[in-house]
Amino acid sequence: MKTLLQINSGMQGQESHSSMLANRMTNSLLAQMPGAKHIKRDLSEEEIPHLNLGVFQSFSDPDSAVTPTQKAALALSNTLVAELKQSSILIIGAPMYNFMIPSVLKSWIDHVIRAQETFRYGENGPVGLLENKKTYIVIAQGGKFLGTEADIETEYLKMALGLIGITDIEFIYAQGLAMGPQGAEVGLKEA
């Protein structure tokens, strides 16, 4: 059975353009995948805590998680990694907030990039351990940054996901959403 993992990270709930577009894309893919499992994480509703030293250490030494908080944080990371490993399609809704992805999405990434779990250190550098994951990322932004040096969001996502072996990524851009009603309409239509 195929699994589609969807990660929404827009903070504007039902009004989030990145989430709306990611939902739409998910629904259309699921319609073509009868029986597929759909795992959805809305990071605006269920925040992933910032990575801290204790949690990071527990990634390589699970016994070091002793307090209930540490144990819960390690368990959450294990769950997020398991969800990612079992998925064959990944859809991410990623708004641009202050020139970057939302910090909640960064936290999710910090919890799934794990040595020996999702990448390993090889003789020539890190080797991604996740394979065959078709990935779609919807980027929503108020301005128009695609193809400019200010588009660090795209490069960051390629680098971070590439590290763990997710390289087959299609980006969908909804741009100009803060450039008046007409600009937003055009941006959404193009996306």
Q: Which is nearer to ligand FMN, 12 or 116 (CB)?
A: 12
CA atoms of 12 and 27, how far apart (whole Å): 20
Query: Is 60 annotated as ligand-binding?
Result: no
Q: Indicate the pairing of strand 37-42 with strand 134-140.
A: unpaired
Among candidate residues 93, 106, 97, 84, the one with its CA nearest the CA of residue 9: 93
CB of 134 to ligand FMN, least distance (A): 22
Dihedral of alpha carbons 155, 156, 162, 167, sign: negative
Query: Is 18 annotated as ligand-binding?
Result: yes
Query: Is 33 annotated as ligand-binding?
Result: no
- Contacts with ligand FMN, residue ranges (CB under 6 A): 10, 12, 16-19, 95-99, 140-143, 177-178
CA atoms of 43 and 104, how far apart (whole Å): 6
CB of 4 to ligand FMN, least distance (A): 19
Query: Is 38 annotated as ligand-binding?
Result: no
CA atoms of 30 and 100, how far apart (whole Å): 29
CB of 105 to ligand FMN, least distance (A): 11
- Given a contact cutoff of 8 angstroms between Cβ atoms, the answer to whether 17 and 174 are in contact is yes
Q: Which is nearer to ligand FMN, 43 or 55 (CB)?
A: 43
Q: Which is nearer to ligand FMN, 72 or 178 (CB)?
A: 178
CB of 44 to ligand FMN, least distance (A): 9
Query: Is 107 annotated as ligand-binding?
Result: no
Annotated binding site: 16-18, 96-99
